[in-house]
């Protein structure tokens, strides 16, 4: 059985290296609106986000209007090591990541960044998010265009000046490399397994925060892949 499927055992006190450990609840943050807005040409765009366990990252973006696809996968390492068992060992260069395809006429890249740092990723944590620890759970922005790169750099600088986060911002920008979709059972995991202990404990609250904080962007229906 996969490590994350052992959530109930972990809750009783067992330790694990995967998305299972129980820790203090995460808190949504009112991230600032971007001063440097994205000037994107018409047509669907793609960006990659790493923010801890990809189940929750995918779940949040799958509820954002204008997002046409959110695919869980691996980024940063080799094709040979792009397997869940290898990545979750912490011995690869991969991060669990989500490839987001979106329509900039409905939601811009800078708006996706704001939602990401409001309800998904804590930018002050290095090589961990929520209960999950390891470099494969690092938070990172992976722009796929020059415009996204400029917007991401400007927004991280704005975040550092904002005073919203008391600890230093450590989330960085990584160069876009090959993205490897994760195994089929990881795709749409939150939609397929709403009663899973990890989803209820960690990811459902993120989706609820998205609905509460960004009602204009929230879509009740899960955009499945």
Active-site residue set: 53
CA 151 to chain centre: 18
**Contact predicate 140/95, CB 8 Å:** yes
Residues 6+ apart with CB under 8 A from 179: 48, 71, 73, 74, 75, 97, 99
Tokens of 29: 């943050």
Half-sphere exposure of 31 (CA within 13 A, CB side): 29
What is the rounded distance in angstroms from the CA atom of residue 180 to the CA atom of residue 68?
18
Q: Please name which of 109, 188, 103, 93 lies closest in space to residue 117, comparing C-alpha atoms.
A: 109
């Amino acid at each position: 059985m996969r490590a994350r499927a052992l959530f109930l055992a972990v809750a009783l006190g067992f330790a694990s290296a995967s998305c299972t450990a129980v820790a203090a609840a995460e808190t949504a943050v009112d991230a600032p609106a971007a001063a440097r807005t994205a000037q994107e040409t018409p047509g669907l765009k793609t960006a990659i986000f790493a923010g801890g366990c990809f189940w929750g990252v995918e779940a949040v973006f799958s509820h954002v209007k204008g997002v046409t696809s959110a695919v869980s996968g691996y980024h940063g390492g080799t094709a040979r090591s792009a397997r869940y068992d290898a990545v979750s060992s912490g011995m690869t260069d991969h991060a669990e990541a989500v490839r987001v395809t979106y329509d900039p006429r409905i939601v811009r890249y800078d708006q996706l960044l704001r939602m990401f740092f409001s309800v998904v990723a804590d930018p002050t944590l290095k090589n961990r998010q929520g209960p999950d620890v390891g470099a494969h759970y690092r938070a990172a922005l992976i722009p796929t265009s020059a415009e996204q790169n400029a917007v991401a750099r400007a927004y991280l600088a704005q975040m550092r000046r904002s005073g919203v986060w008391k600890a230093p911002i450590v989330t960085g920008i990584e160069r876009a490399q090959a993205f490897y979709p994760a195994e089929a059972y990881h795709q749409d995991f939150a939609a397929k397994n709403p009663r899973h202990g990890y989803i209820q404990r960690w990811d459902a609250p993120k989706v609820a925060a998205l609905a509460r904080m960004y009602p204009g962007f929230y879509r009740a229906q899960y955009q499945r892949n």
